[in-house]
Amino acid sequence: MAAEAVVTMDGWCMLHDSRVFDWASWKVANEKERTEAVAEFKELISKWEAVEEQKNGSQSIYKVVGNKADLIFIFLRPTMDVLEEIQRELNKSKIGDYLIPGYSYVSIVEKTMHNPMDEGRDRELNSKVEALLKPILPKWEHACFYPMARRRWKDANWFAIDKAERTRLLYEHGMTGRKYAGKVKEIISGSIGLDEWEWGVTLFAHDPLQFKKIVYEMRFDEVTSKYAEFGDFLVGNYLPKDDVDTYFSL
């Protein structure tokens, strides 16, 4: 007998878009070109901020620590069409000429319903969960993103255990997360059928040490130790619009 599938409530579409900046080409560009590119980029950020003010989406930009990328853009919008438009607009901008596409991840913000009151209405949101499904990204100093999936091992197949057991395991996992309330904010997005992994996890913190602490502690939860697989981690420092000039200055 097959295990019962979980019902999810689904919100905004999410794109993590990391870029390597072509500093070598930037250095040989003339000052006028660089000034115009930065000014246009700031106008683009202002356009995105206006969308956020209207609560029609959200976004943040982070400076990646390490050699996996230079910048990561995190976008939340109502549809995949709008996400693609944003990506295309960024690529067509002057600064886009220097942004080399790197890793990307496509997903949809979700909340799992283990005891759904009303199944089958994927995008009809309860007022209590709407803020979770259509989140405004916190402009905290640090962000961490990683993709993950559940194991299908012979003796540890997440998709073969019954619903009650999955609920128990996830409840215990959630209790660990509650210890970090106020220290870490988390957004879970589903990517089954959309990208390589099954879920994306985006964390925000004022102190990056909290990423290490929460992920380490959660590794000891049964749901993680027995059933979880992880992809690469990306960690970055927040880049507000007011600091864009300094970031691109030579």
As a 3-state breakdown, the chain gives helix, strand, coil percent values, each rounded to 5, of 40, 30, 30
Q: Which of 244, 246, 16 is nearest to 109 (CA)?
A: 16
Long-range contacts of 78-85 (CB under 8 A, 24+ apart): 78/12, 78/13, 79/13, 80/13, 80/106, 82/13, 82/57, 83/13, 83/14, 83/15
d(CA 49, CA 117): 35
Which amino acid is residue 180, in one-letter code? Y
SS3 138: coil
User: Can 180 be counted among the known catalytic residues?
Assistant: no
Q: Which of 103, 146, 180, 227 is catalytic?
A: 146
10 Å CB burial of residue 191 (0-12, 13-18, 19+) is buried
Q: List CB contacts of 206: < 8 A, sequence separation 6 or more.
A: 140, 141, 142, 183
SS3 52: helix
Q: Is 55 left (phi over 0), alpha (psi -120 to 50) or beta?
A: left
Residues annotated catalytic, as ranges: 146
